[in-house]
Amino acid sequence: MENEIIVGLDIGTTKIACFVGMRGENGKVKILGFGKTESIGVENGVVKGITQTADSITKAVNEAADQANVDIDEVWVGIAGQHIKSNPSHGSIMIPADHTLIEQEDVDRLIREQYNIQLPPGEEIIHVFPQQYIVDRESLPREIPPVGVAGKSLEADFHMVTANVQNLQYIKYAVERAGLKIKGVVLEPIASAKAVLDDSDRDAGVAMVDIGGGTTDIAIFHDRIIRHTSVLPLAGNAITNDIREGCNILKKQAESLKVKFGSCLVQAVSDKDIISIPGIRSQAPREIYVKTLAGIINARTKMIMEQVDYEIKLSGYHKKLIAGVVLTGGGAQLKNIKELCELITTTDTRIGVPNEHIDPESVSYADLAHPMYATGIGLVLYGLEQVEKNAAEEEPEQRQSAKKGSHVDLFADMDNISAPAPTAAPTTPEASEDKESKKKDKDKGKPKFEDVLGKFFNKMFNEGIDD
Protein backbone atom coordinates (compact mmCIF):
# COMPACT_ATOMS: atom_id res chain seq x y z
CA MET A 1 0.00 0.00 0.00
CA GLU A 2 3.06 2.23 0.20
CA ASN A 3 2.86 5.20 -2.20
CA GLU A 4 -0.65 4.18 -3.26
CA ILE A 5 -1.89 6.54 -5.98
CA ILE A 6 -5.57 7.53 -5.95
CA VAL A 7 -7.49 9.32 -8.69
CA GLY A 8 -10.58 11.40 -7.92
CA LEU A 9 -12.98 12.42 -10.71
CA ASP A 10 -15.41 15.25 -10.01
CA ILE A 11 -18.13 15.19 -12.70
CA GLY A 12 -19.78 18.53 -12.03
CA THR A 13 -22.39 20.58 -13.86
CA THR A 14 -19.99 23.35 -14.88
CA LYS A 15 -16.63 21.56 -14.79
CA ILE A 16 -15.06 18.11 -14.82
CA ALA A 17 -11.92 17.92 -12.73
CA CYS A 18 -9.47 15.07 -12.20
CA PHE A 19 -7.01 14.86 -9.31
CA VAL A 20 -4.14 12.38 -8.94
CA GLY A 21 -2.80 12.13 -5.39
CA MET A 22 -1.00 10.07 -2.77
CA ARG A 23 -0.32 10.29 0.95
CA GLY A 24 2.54 12.70 1.65
CA GLU A 25 5.17 12.21 4.34
CA ASN A 26 3.39 14.77 6.53
CA GLY A 27 0.15 12.78 6.36
CA LYS A 28 -1.57 15.21 4.01
CA VAL A 29 -2.61 14.44 0.45
CA LYS A 30 0.02 15.27 -2.15
CA ILE A 31 -1.55 16.15 -5.49
CA LEU A 32 0.67 14.89 -8.30
CA GLY A 33 -1.48 15.95 -11.22
CA PHE A 34 -4.58 18.01 -11.90
CA GLY A 35 -6.78 18.45 -14.97
CA LYS A 36 -9.92 20.49 -15.55
CA THR A 37 -12.22 21.05 -18.51
CA GLU A 38 -15.69 22.41 -19.22
CA SER A 39 -18.44 19.98 -18.38
CA ILE A 40 -20.56 19.14 -21.42
CA GLY A 41 -23.46 16.72 -21.13
CA VAL A 42 -24.16 17.16 -17.40
CA GLU A 43 -27.29 18.88 -16.10
CA ASN A 44 -27.89 19.58 -12.40
CA GLY A 45 -25.31 16.98 -11.43
CA VAL A 46 -26.81 14.25 -13.64
CA VAL A 47 -25.13 12.86 -16.76
CA LYS A 48 -27.43 13.39 -19.76
CA GLY A 49 -25.13 13.25 -22.79
CA ILE A 50 -22.95 10.18 -22.31
CA THR A 51 -20.69 10.75 -25.33
CA GLN A 52 -20.13 14.44 -24.58
CA THR A 53 -19.45 13.72 -20.91
CA ALA A 54 -17.01 10.95 -21.82
CA ASP A 55 -15.10 13.35 -24.09
CA SER A 56 -14.86 15.92 -21.28
CA ILE A 57 -13.71 13.22 -18.85
CA THR A 58 -11.01 12.10 -21.27
CA LYS A 59 -9.62 15.64 -21.59
CA ALA A 60 -9.46 16.21 -17.84
CA VAL A 61 -7.98 12.77 -17.10
CA ASN A 62 -5.34 13.02 -19.84
CA GLU A 63 -4.24 16.41 -18.55
CA ALA A 64 -3.92 15.10 -14.99
CA ALA A 65 -2.13 11.91 -16.13
CA ASP A 66 0.41 13.87 -18.19
CA GLN A 67 1.16 16.20 -15.30
CA ALA A 68 1.51 13.34 -12.81
CA ASN A 69 3.36 11.15 -15.33
CA VAL A 70 1.21 8.12 -14.48
CA ASP A 71 -1.25 5.87 -16.28
CA ILE A 72 -4.83 6.20 -15.06
CA ASP A 73 -7.24 3.29 -15.32
CA GLU A 74 -9.36 3.50 -12.13
CA VAL A 75 -11.13 6.49 -10.58
CA TRP A 76 -13.20 7.39 -7.52
CA VAL A 77 -16.26 9.24 -8.81
CA GLY A 78 -18.45 11.77 -7.05
CA ILE A 79 -22.23 11.65 -7.44
CA ALA A 80 -24.88 14.30 -6.80
CA GLY A 81 -28.25 15.32 -8.23
CA GLN A 82 -31.83 15.69 -7.07
CA HIS A 83 -32.31 11.91 -7.37
CA ILE A 84 -30.15 11.38 -4.24
CA LYS A 85 -32.29 10.42 -1.23
CA SER A 86 -31.61 9.86 2.46
CA ASN A 87 -33.59 7.45 4.62
CA PRO A 88 -33.36 6.11 8.18
CA SER A 89 -33.08 2.37 8.70
CA HIS A 90 -32.88 -0.12 11.57
CA GLY A 91 -31.26 -3.53 11.56
CA SER A 92 -30.60 -6.34 14.01
CA ILE A 93 -28.78 -9.67 14.13
CA MET A 94 -28.21 -12.46 16.63
CA ILE A 95 -24.63 -13.07 17.76
CA PRO A 96 -23.38 -16.64 17.08
CA ALA A 97 -23.16 -18.86 20.17
CA ASP A 98 -19.43 -19.41 19.67
CA HIS A 99 -18.73 -15.66 19.93
CA THR A 100 -18.12 -14.87 23.60
CA LEU A 101 -17.86 -11.16 22.70
CA ILE A 102 -19.15 -9.23 19.69
CA GLU A 103 -16.55 -9.35 16.93
CA GLN A 104 -15.85 -7.10 13.97
CA GLU A 105 -17.30 -9.67 11.59
CA ASP A 106 -20.62 -9.38 13.45
CA VAL A 107 -20.69 -5.61 12.97
CA ASP A 108 -19.72 -5.99 9.30
CA ARG A 109 -22.50 -8.54 8.80
CA LEU A 110 -25.08 -6.20 10.32
CA ILE A 111 -23.99 -3.38 7.99
CA ARG A 112 -23.91 -5.66 4.93
CA GLU A 113 -27.46 -6.78 5.60
CA GLN A 114 -28.67 -3.20 5.23
CA TYR A 115 -27.67 -3.29 1.57
CA ASN A 116 -30.16 -6.12 1.06
CA ILE A 117 -33.27 -4.34 2.32
CA GLN A 118 -36.08 -3.83 -0.15
CA LEU A 119 -36.11 -0.42 -1.86
CA PRO A 120 -38.55 1.26 -4.23
CA PRO A 121 -37.95 0.21 -7.87
CA GLY A 122 -35.06 2.02 -9.55
CA GLU A 123 -33.12 2.89 -6.38
CA GLU A 124 -29.78 1.59 -5.15
CA ILE A 125 -27.95 2.08 -1.85
CA ILE A 126 -24.57 3.83 -2.15
CA HIS A 127 -23.79 4.55 1.53
CA VAL A 128 -24.84 3.13 4.91
CA PHE A 129 -23.81 5.15 7.98
CA PRO A 130 -24.33 3.61 11.47
CA GLN A 131 -25.84 6.09 13.95
CA GLN A 132 -26.35 4.21 17.22
CA TYR A 133 -25.48 0.66 18.26
CA ILE A 134 -27.70 -1.32 20.63
CA VAL A 135 -26.58 -4.49 22.44
CA ASP A 136 -29.22 -6.65 24.13
CA ARG A 137 -31.66 -3.73 23.81
CA GLU A 138 -29.36 -1.28 25.60
CA SER A 139 -27.88 1.65 23.66
CA LEU A 140 -24.11 1.92 23.74
CA PRO A 141 -22.44 5.26 24.53
CA ARG A 142 -20.72 6.84 21.53
CA GLU A 143 -17.26 6.25 22.96
CA ILE A 144 -17.85 2.49 23.35
CA PRO A 145 -17.75 0.53 20.06
CA PRO A 146 -19.76 -2.70 19.87
CA VAL A 147 -16.66 -4.82 19.18
CA GLY A 148 -15.56 -6.39 22.46
CA VAL A 149 -18.93 -6.04 24.19
CA ALA A 150 -20.68 -9.15 25.50
CA GLY A 151 -24.14 -9.68 24.12
CA LYS A 152 -26.60 -12.01 22.42
CA SER A 153 -28.07 -9.49 19.96
CA LEU A 154 -26.76 -6.46 18.07
CA GLU A 155 -28.94 -3.70 16.64
CA ALA A 156 -28.21 -0.34 15.04
CA ASP A 157 -29.91 2.71 13.58
CA PHE A 158 -28.58 3.68 10.16
CA HIS A 159 -28.56 6.66 7.82
CA MET A 160 -28.87 5.33 4.26
CA VAL A 161 -28.13 7.21 1.04
CA THR A 162 -29.72 5.96 -2.17
CA ALA A 163 -29.36 6.96 -5.81
CA ASN A 164 -31.32 6.39 -8.99
CA VAL A 165 -30.05 3.23 -10.71
CA GLN A 166 -30.37 4.71 -14.18
CA ASN A 167 -28.34 7.79 -13.27
CA LEU A 168 -25.67 5.54 -11.75
CA GLN A 169 -25.58 3.60 -15.00
CA TYR A 170 -25.17 6.81 -17.04
CA ILE A 171 -22.12 7.73 -14.94
CA LYS A 172 -20.71 4.24 -15.44
CA TYR A 173 -21.29 4.37 -19.20
CA ALA A 174 -19.57 7.77 -19.51
CA VAL A 175 -16.57 6.72 -17.41
CA GLU A 176 -16.17 3.40 -19.24
CA ARG A 177 -16.51 5.13 -22.60
CA ALA A 178 -13.53 7.25 -21.51
CA GLY A 179 -11.56 4.02 -21.04
CA LEU A 180 -11.71 3.95 -17.23
CA LYS A 181 -13.07 1.76 -14.44
CA ILE A 182 -14.95 3.03 -11.40
CA LYS A 183 -13.19 2.12 -8.16
CA GLY A 184 -15.99 3.57 -6.05
CA VAL A 185 -18.92 6.01 -6.12
CA VAL A 186 -19.03 8.65 -3.37
CA LEU A 187 -21.74 11.13 -2.47
CA GLU A 188 -20.20 14.52 -3.26
CA PRO A 189 -20.94 16.24 0.09
CA ILE A 190 -19.20 13.32 1.84
CA ALA A 191 -16.13 13.88 -0.33
CA SER A 192 -16.21 17.67 0.12
CA ALA A 193 -16.44 17.25 3.89
CA LYS A 194 -13.22 15.16 3.82
CA ALA A 195 -11.42 18.15 2.29
CA VAL A 196 -12.71 21.07 4.37
CA LEU A 197 -13.56 19.61 7.80
CA ASP A 198 -11.48 18.04 10.55
CA ASP A 199 -12.34 15.78 13.48
CA SER A 200 -12.99 18.71 15.81
CA ASP A 201 -15.63 20.08 13.39
CA ARG A 202 -17.37 16.70 13.11
CA ASP A 203 -17.23 16.17 16.84
CA ALA A 204 -18.62 19.58 17.79
CA GLY A 205 -21.37 19.55 15.17
CA VAL A 206 -21.17 21.20 11.74
CA ALA A 207 -23.21 21.69 8.58
CA MET A 208 -21.10 21.47 5.42
CA VAL A 209 -22.77 23.24 2.46
CA ASP A 210 -21.20 22.74 -0.98
CA ILE A 211 -22.61 25.24 -3.49
CA GLY A 212 -21.74 23.94 -6.94
CA GLY A 213 -22.99 24.81 -10.40
CA GLY A 214 -26.06 22.59 -10.56
CA THR A 215 -26.67 21.47 -6.98
CA THR A 216 -26.16 22.58 -3.40
CA ASP A 217 -25.04 19.61 -1.31
CA ILE A 218 -25.49 19.42 2.46
CA ALA A 219 -23.87 17.09 5.01
CA ILE A 220 -24.46 17.49 8.74
CA PHE A 221 -22.12 15.90 11.32
CA HIS A 222 -22.34 15.53 15.08
CA ASP A 223 -20.27 13.41 17.47
CA ARG A 224 -18.07 12.57 14.45
CA ILE A 225 -21.00 10.79 12.79
CA ILE A 226 -22.77 11.92 9.63
CA ARG A 227 -26.36 12.58 10.65
CA HIS A 228 -28.08 14.10 7.62
CA THR A 229 -27.45 14.51 3.89
CA SER A 230 -29.38 16.38 1.24
CA VAL A 231 -28.97 17.59 -2.35
CA LEU A 232 -30.80 20.75 -3.44
CA PRO A 233 -31.45 21.39 -7.18
CA LEU A 234 -30.50 25.08 -6.93
CA ALA A 235 -26.95 26.47 -7.07
CA GLY A 236 -24.61 28.77 -9.00
CA ASN A 237 -26.11 28.21 -12.45
CA ALA A 238 -29.53 29.37 -11.23
CA ILE A 239 -27.96 32.66 -10.11
CA THR A 240 -26.21 33.07 -13.45
CA ASN A 241 -29.42 32.40 -15.38
CA ASP A 242 -31.29 34.98 -13.27
CA ILE A 243 -28.66 37.60 -14.13
CA ARG A 244 -28.80 36.64 -17.80
CA GLU A 245 -32.56 37.02 -17.99
CA GLY A 246 -32.79 40.02 -15.68
CA CYS A 247 -30.14 42.00 -17.55
CA ASN A 248 -30.83 40.53 -20.99
CA ILE A 249 -27.21 39.60 -21.66
CA LEU A 250 -25.21 36.54 -22.70
CA LYS A 251 -24.60 33.68 -20.26
CA LYS A 252 -20.82 34.22 -20.31
CA GLN A 253 -21.34 37.91 -19.54
CA ALA A 254 -23.71 37.04 -16.70
CA GLU A 255 -21.19 34.62 -15.19
CA SER A 256 -18.44 37.24 -15.43
CA LEU A 257 -20.62 39.88 -13.77
CA LYS A 258 -21.53 37.50 -10.95
CA VAL A 259 -17.90 36.66 -10.17
CA LYS A 260 -16.33 40.11 -10.61
CA PHE A 261 -18.99 42.53 -9.38
CA GLY A 262 -21.68 40.45 -7.69
CA SER A 263 -22.70 40.68 -4.05
CA CYS A 264 -25.20 38.72 -1.98
CA LEU A 265 -26.12 41.80 0.08
CA VAL A 266 -27.76 44.81 -1.59
CA GLN A 267 -26.86 47.11 1.29
CA ALA A 268 -23.17 46.29 0.84
CA VAL A 269 -22.88 48.05 -2.59
CA SER A 270 -23.09 51.66 -3.73
CA ASP A 271 -26.20 53.17 -5.30
CA LYS A 272 -24.11 55.02 -7.88
CA ASP A 273 -21.75 52.34 -9.25
CA ILE A 274 -22.52 51.36 -12.86
CA ILE A 275 -21.17 48.49 -14.98
CA SER A 276 -20.80 48.89 -18.74
CA ILE A 277 -21.32 45.68 -20.76
CA PRO A 278 -20.13 45.54 -24.41
CA GLY A 279 -22.95 45.16 -26.90
CA ILE A 280 -23.19 42.37 -29.46
CA ARG A 281 -21.80 43.30 -32.87
CA SER A 282 -22.98 46.85 -33.59
CA GLN A 283 -25.22 47.19 -30.55
CA ALA A 284 -24.47 49.92 -28.04
CA PRO A 285 -23.00 48.92 -24.65
CA ARG A 286 -25.43 48.15 -21.84
CA GLU A 287 -25.19 49.83 -18.46
CA ILE A 288 -26.26 48.05 -15.30
CA TYR A 289 -26.29 49.40 -11.76
CA VAL A 290 -24.25 47.29 -9.35
CA LYS A 291 -27.14 47.56 -6.91
CA THR A 292 -29.49 46.02 -9.49
CA LEU A 293 -27.05 43.16 -10.00
CA ALA A 294 -26.81 42.64 -6.23
CA GLY A 295 -30.61 42.58 -5.97
CA ILE A 296 -30.84 39.76 -8.53
CA ILE A 297 -28.11 37.74 -6.82
CA ASN A 298 -29.57 38.36 -3.36
CA ALA A 299 -33.03 37.07 -4.34
CA ARG A 300 -31.77 33.72 -5.62
CA THR A 301 -29.03 33.23 -3.01
CA LYS A 302 -31.50 34.01 -0.25
CA MET A 303 -33.80 31.31 -1.63
CA ILE A 304 -30.93 28.79 -1.59
CA MET A 305 -29.94 29.69 1.96
CA GLU A 306 -33.54 29.43 3.18
CA GLN A 307 -33.66 25.87 1.84
CA VAL A 308 -30.31 25.15 3.51
CA ASP A 309 -31.73 26.47 6.78
CA TYR A 310 -34.82 24.27 6.33
CA GLU A 311 -32.65 21.15 5.83
CA ILE A 312 -30.57 21.98 8.90
CA LYS A 313 -33.71 22.29 11.03
CA LEU A 314 -35.17 19.15 9.44
CA SER A 315 -32.12 17.20 10.61
CA GLY A 316 -32.89 18.08 14.24
CA TYR A 317 -29.32 19.26 14.85
CA HIS A 318 -29.77 23.01 14.25
CA LYS A 319 -29.15 23.73 17.94
CA LYS A 320 -26.12 21.42 18.15
CA LEU A 321 -23.88 22.94 15.46
CA ILE A 322 -21.11 24.30 17.67
CA ALA A 323 -18.75 24.50 14.66
CA GLY A 324 -21.45 26.31 12.68
CA VAL A 325 -21.87 26.22 8.90
CA VAL A 326 -18.99 25.70 6.47
CA LEU A 327 -19.57 26.94 2.92
CA THR A 328 -17.52 25.48 0.08
CA GLY A 329 -17.76 24.86 -3.66
CA GLY A 330 -17.54 27.40 -6.47
CA GLY A 331 -20.57 29.29 -5.17
CA ALA A 332 -18.77 30.02 -1.89
CA GLN A 333 -16.64 32.62 -3.69
CA LEU A 334 -19.63 34.97 -4.02
CA LYS A 335 -19.04 38.20 -2.16
CA ASN A 336 -20.87 38.51 1.19
CA ILE A 337 -22.34 34.99 0.97
CA LYS A 338 -20.94 34.23 4.43
CA GLU A 339 -22.78 37.20 5.93
CA LEU A 340 -26.04 36.28 4.15
CA CYS A 341 -25.82 32.71 5.43
CA GLU A 342 -25.34 33.96 9.01
CA LEU A 343 -28.34 36.28 8.69
CA ILE A 344 -30.66 33.49 7.51
CA THR A 345 -29.40 30.53 9.55
CA THR A 346 -28.40 32.61 12.62
CA THR A 347 -25.35 30.35 12.82
CA ASP A 348 -21.65 31.16 12.68
CA THR A 349 -20.36 30.60 9.15
CA ARG A 350 -16.95 30.29 7.50
CA ILE A 351 -15.65 29.54 4.01
CA GLY A 352 -14.10 26.07 3.75
CA VAL A 353 -11.01 25.57 1.60
CA PRO A 354 -9.05 22.30 1.20
CA ASN A 355 -5.61 23.82 1.81
CA GLU A 356 -5.26 22.41 5.35
CA HIS A 357 -5.38 18.88 3.93
CA ILE A 358 -3.07 19.49 0.93
CA ASP A 359 0.67 18.88 1.05
CA PRO A 360 2.48 22.17 0.19
CA GLU A 361 4.61 20.17 -2.25
CA SER A 362 1.53 19.47 -4.40
CA VAL A 363 1.48 20.74 -7.97
CA SER A 364 -0.25 24.14 -8.34
CA TYR A 365 -0.69 24.27 -4.56
CA ALA A 366 -1.84 27.90 -4.50
CA ASP A 367 -4.46 27.29 -7.21
CA LEU A 368 -5.83 24.13 -5.57
CA ALA A 369 -6.49 25.88 -2.25
CA HIS A 370 -9.88 27.00 -3.57
CA PRO A 371 -13.42 26.04 -2.48
CA MET A 372 -14.34 24.83 -5.98
CA TYR A 373 -11.82 21.96 -5.72
CA ALA A 374 -13.08 20.62 -2.40
CA THR A 375 -15.00 17.72 -3.96
CA GLY A 376 -12.17 16.52 -6.22
CA ILE A 377 -9.54 16.65 -3.48
CA GLY A 378 -12.01 15.07 -1.06
CA LEU A 379 -12.45 12.13 -3.45
CA VAL A 380 -8.70 11.48 -3.30
CA LEU A 381 -8.78 11.66 0.51
CA TYR A 382 -11.77 9.32 0.64
CA GLY A 383 -10.04 6.82 -1.65
CA LEU A 384 -6.84 6.93 0.41
CA GLU A 385 -8.76 6.32 3.63
CA GLN A 386 -10.59 3.33 2.16
CA VAL A 387 -7.35 1.77 0.90
CA GLU A 388 -5.65 2.34 4.25
CA LYS A 389 -8.66 0.95 6.13
CA ASN A 390 -8.65 -2.22 4.03
CA ALA A 391 -4.91 -2.63 4.56
CA ALA A 392 -5.32 -2.21 8.33
CA GLU A 393 -8.04 -4.89 8.39
CA GLU A 394 -5.86 -7.32 6.44
CA GLU A 395 -2.75 -6.71 8.57
CA PRO A 396 -3.93 -8.62 11.71
CA GLU A 397 -4.69 -11.66 9.54
CA GLN A 398 -1.23 -11.48 7.99
CA ARG A 399 0.37 -11.14 11.43
CA GLN A 400 -1.62 -14.09 12.69
CA SER A 401 -0.52 -16.18 9.70
CA ALA A 402 3.10 -15.19 10.26
CA LYS A 403 2.81 -16.03 13.95
CA LYS A 404 1.43 -19.45 13.15
CA GLY A 405 4.27 -19.93 10.69
CA SER A 406 6.84 -19.24 13.43
CA HIS A 407 5.28 -21.93 15.61
CA VAL A 408 5.66 -24.40 12.78
CA ASP A 409 9.32 -23.50 12.56
CA LEU A 410 9.78 -24.18 16.29
CA PHE A 411 8.41 -27.67 15.77
CA ALA A 412 10.49 -28.24 12.64
CA ASP A 413 12.44 -31.03 14.37
CA MET A 414 9.25 -33.03 14.63
CA ASP A 415 8.98 -33.40 10.85
CA ASN A 416 11.16 -36.49 11.09
CA ILE A 417 8.90 -38.22 13.62
CA SER A 418 7.05 -41.16 12.17
CA ALA A 419 3.36 -41.02 12.98
CA PRO A 420 1.69 -44.24 14.07
CA ALA A 421 0.05 -46.04 11.18
CA PRO A 422 -3.69 -46.73 11.26
CA THR A 423 -4.41 -50.07 12.91
CA ALA A 424 -5.43 -52.89 10.63
CA ALA A 425 -5.76 -56.59 11.25
CA PRO A 426 -2.89 -58.49 9.57
CA THR A 427 -3.94 -61.27 7.26
CA THR A 428 -1.34 -63.73 8.63
CA PRO A 429 1.18 -63.80 11.50
CA GLU A 430 3.97 -63.89 8.94
CA ALA A 431 2.64 -60.75 7.26
CA SER A 432 2.38 -59.02 10.61
CA GLU A 433 5.98 -59.90 11.56
CA ASP A 434 7.22 -58.77 8.13
CA LYS A 435 5.36 -55.43 8.44
CA GLU A 436 6.75 -54.81 11.93
CA SER A 437 10.28 -55.57 10.70
CA LYS A 438 9.94 -53.10 7.84
CA LYS A 439 8.57 -50.43 10.20
CA LYS A 440 11.58 -50.82 12.52
CA ASP A 441 13.96 -50.48 9.58
CA LYS A 442 12.13 -47.36 8.35
CA ASP A 443 12.09 -45.74 11.77
CA LYS A 444 15.69 -46.60 12.50
CA GLY A 445 17.72 -43.47 13.13
CA LYS A 446 14.67 -41.17 13.53
CA PRO A 447 14.27 -39.28 16.82
CA LYS A 448 11.62 -40.45 19.21
CA PHE A 449 8.69 -38.18 20.03
CA GLU A 450 9.66 -37.97 23.72
CA ASP A 451 13.22 -36.91 22.81
CA VAL A 452 12.09 -34.19 20.41
CA LEU A 453 9.46 -32.88 22.80
CA GLY A 454 12.00 -32.78 25.60
CA LYS A 455 14.44 -30.95 23.36
CA PHE A 456 11.76 -28.38 22.44
CA PHE A 457 10.72 -27.58 26.00
CA ASN A 458 14.36 -27.43 27.10
CA LYS A 459 14.93 -24.84 24.38
CA MET A 460 11.82 -22.90 25.37
CA PHE A 461 12.68 -22.60 29.07
CA ASN A 462 16.43 -22.06 28.68
CA GLU A 463 16.51 -19.74 25.66
CA GLY A 464 13.00 -18.26 25.51
CA ILE A 465 10.64 -18.12 22.57
CA ASP A 466 10.80 -15.20 20.16
CA ASP A 467 7.27 -13.98 19.49
Domains in the chain: ranges and CATH: 85-163 (3.30.1490.110), 198-352 (3.30.420.40), 411-463 (no CATH)
Instruction: Tell me the per-residue pLDDT of 72-87, one tens digit each, with 9 for 90 and over.
Output: 999 999 999 889 999 8
User: Taking residues 396-418, what's their average pLDDT?
Assistant: 45
H-type alpha helices, 18-73: 50-68
The answer to whether residue 454 scores a pLDDT higher than 60 is no
**Helix, strand, or coil here: 123?**
strand
> CB of 178 within 8 A of CB of 58?
yes
The amino acid occupying position 153 is S
Residue 154 pLDDT grade (very low, low, confident, very high; cuts 50, 70, 90):
very high
194/375 Cα distance (integer angstroms): 8
pLDDT at 412: 39
| 20: pLDDT strictly greater than 60 | yes
pLDDT-derived band at 356 (thresholds 50, 70, 90) equals confident
Q: Average the pLDDT over 327-343 and give the result.
A: 96
Candidates 293, 244, 305, 246; CA nearest to 269 is 293
pLDDT at position 94 = 96
Q: Which pLDDT score, from 0 to 100, does residue 400 have? A: 53
Check residue 321 and report its DSSP letter: -
CA distances 376 to 114, 196, 272, 332, 426, Å, are 28, 12, 40, 16, 77
How confident is residue 438, by pLDDT bands cut at 50, 70 and 90? very low
Provide the pLDDT for residue 12: 93
Q: Provide the pLDDT for residue 283.
A: 82
Lowest mean pLDDT among 140-144, 348-352, 424-428: 424-428
The CA distance from 88 to 25, in Å, is: 39
Length of the chain: 467
Higher pLDDT among residues 366 and 311, named by residue:
311
pLDDT at 426 over 90: no
Q: How confident is the model at residue 404 (pLDDT cuts 50, 70, 90)?
A: very low
- Per-residue pLDDT averaged across 173-185, rounded? 96
pLDDT tens per residue across span 180-205? 999 999 999 999 999 999 999 999 99
Please write down the long-range contacts of 366-369, taking CB distance under 8 Å and 24 or more positions apart: 368/31, 368/34
Chain centre distance of CA 279:
46
What confidence category does residue 355 fall into, taking pLDDT thresholds of 50, 70 and 90? Answer: confident
- Residue with more model confidence, 288 or 2: 288
Q: Which residues contact 146 (CB under 8 A, 6 or more apart)?
A: 102, 106, 107, 133, 135, 140, 154
Q: Does position 415 have pLDDT exceeding 90, yes or no?
A: no
Helix (H, G, I), strand (E, B) or coil at 241: helix
Q: Does the pLDDT value for residue 238 go beyond 90?
A: yes
| Selection from 189, 133, 180 nearest residue 161 by Cα | 189
Q: Average per-residue pLDDT in the chain?
A: 86
**pLDDT at residue 278 in the model:** 86
Least confident piece of the model among 119-123, 334-338, 344-348: 119-123
In one letter, which amino acid is 432?
S
Helix (H) or strand (E) holding 328: strand 325-328
Is residue 341 classed as helix, strand or coil in its secondary structure?
helix
Highest averaged pLDDT of the listed ranges 96-100, 394-398, 417-421:
96-100
Q: Give me the percent of the chain exceeding a pLDDT of 70.
A: 84
What's the pLDDT at 414? 37
